[in-house]
């Protein structure tokens, strides 16, 4: 059972996750697991993955609505990307369930560092990238969808920072369309991951609900602030935070080696 303090900290964590999503269009899910484990004090890695997977998935579907109203969603590309990703999610989740918790967190921390370094090097893309011929484009979308789905299922992340560049370079979407369209896959991958972990008894629906409640208010606050500050600078700051958290996770879980 969770204490009152842990429930309050879960609400704060959900707010921070939603705040990140609203502020820079991603990154909340990469912090959700370490927040639940090291901030809330929920020392059950597999349950943390299933629980945050559901919260991230639901939050993504909720945030899909305003993007769709602004016509920032390419539903066809989103569904094509998600379809092979379903197989990747199921395979990744199955492997994640049989991976020892500490080892899973150690590898997850390495992924956090890789994503943070990508964020620091990445430059804003405001125009679509030519995806080439339609058959090659379709192949890229399907292959990228499977790979990102696998990572999402294995680590229990929404995969937004992987999906957005994947859609830009495989489907030829610009950055705005890629962010909106990515929520189709983020929601699908998150909910599927959570379902697989729930079947194994590795999910806490109460904490997921609390994360969603906090995430809604955090998303609004982040979106409001995003209109006032340079997105590139915010992205760099967030990447440095991710690296700091990842270094701590590597230190705590180094015994898994």
Residue 12: what pLDDT?
Answer: 94
pLDDT digits (tens), the chain, 257 positions:
678 898 999 999 999 888 877 676 666 667 888 899 889 988 888 888 888 889 888 888 887 888 888 888 999 999 999 999 999 999 998 998 888 888 888 888 888 888 788 778 765 544 455 555 677 788 888 998 998 889 888 887 766 667 877 787 788 887 778 878 888 998 898 899 899 999 999 899 988 999 999 988 887 787 777 667 676 776 777 778 888 888 988 888 888 77
Q: Tokens at residue 234, please?
A: 């915010």
Measure Cα distances from 47 to 22, 26, 156 in Å: 26, 22, 10
Residue 122: what pLDDT?
Answer: 66
Residue 131: what pLDDT?
Answer: 57
d(CA 234, CA 161): 15
Residue 84: what pLDDT?
Answer: 94
d(CA 158, CA 187): 7
- Which of these, 163, 164, 130, lies nearest to 148 by C-alpha position? 163
What is the DSSP secondary-structure string of 85-123? HHHHHHHHHHHHHHS-HHHHHHHHHHHHHHHHHHHHH--
Residue 81: what pLDDT?
Answer: 93
Check if the beta carbon of residue 105 is closer than 8 Å to that of residue 248: no
SS3 content of the chain, % helix, strand, coil (to 5): 80, 0, 20
What is the DSSP secondary-structure string of 39-64? IS----HHHHHHHHHHHHHHHHHHHH
Check if the beta carbon of residue 57 is closer than 8 Å to that of residue 189: yes
Check if the beta carbon of residue 93 is closer than 8 Å to that of residue 153: yes
Helix (H, G, I), strand (E, B) or coil at 228: coil
Across 69-87, b (16+ Cβ under 10 Å) vs e yields: eeebbbeebbebbbbbbbe
- Which of these, 160, 154, 164, 165, lies nearest to 192 by C-alpha position? 154
* pTM given for the model: 0.76
Residue 232: what pLDDT?
Answer: 73
Count the neighbouring beta carbons within 10 Å of the beta carbon of residue 95: 13
Residues 6+ positions from 7 with CB-CB distance below 8 Å: 210
Q: Tokens at residue 199, please?
A: 């079947």
């Amino acid at each position: 059972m969770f204490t009152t303090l842990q429930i309050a900290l879960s609400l704060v964590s959900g707010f921070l996750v939603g705040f990140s999503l609203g502020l820079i269009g991603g990154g909340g899910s990469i912090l959700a697991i370490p927040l639940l484990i090291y901030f809330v004090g929920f020392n059950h890695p597999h349950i943390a993955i299933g629980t945050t997977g559901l919260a991230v998935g639901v939050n993504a579907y909720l945030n899909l609505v305003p993007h769709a109203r602004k016509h920032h969603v390419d539903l066809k590309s989103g569904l094509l990307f998600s379809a092979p990703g379903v197989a990747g999610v199921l395979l990744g989740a199955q492997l994640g369930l049989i991976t020892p918790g500490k080892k899973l967190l150690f590898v997850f921390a390495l992924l956090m560092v890789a994503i943070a370094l990508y964020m620091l090097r990445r430059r804003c893309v405001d125009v679509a990238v030519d995806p080439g011929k339609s058959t090659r484009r379709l192949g890229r979308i399907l292959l990228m969808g499977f790979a990102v789905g696998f990572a999402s299922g294995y680590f229990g992340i929404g995969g937004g920072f992987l999906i957005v560049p994947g859609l830009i370079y495989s489907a030829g979407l610009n950055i705005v369309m890629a962010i909106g369209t990515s929520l189709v896959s983020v929601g699908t991958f998150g909910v599927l991951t959570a379902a697989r972990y729930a079947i194994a008894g590795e999910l806490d629906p109460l904490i997921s609900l609390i994360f969603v409640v906090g995430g809604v208010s955090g998303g609004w606050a982040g979106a409001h602030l995003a209109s006032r500050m340079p997105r590139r600078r915010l992205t760099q700051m967030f990447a440095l935070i991710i690296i700091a958290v990842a270094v701590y996770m590597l230190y705590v879980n180094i015994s898994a080696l």
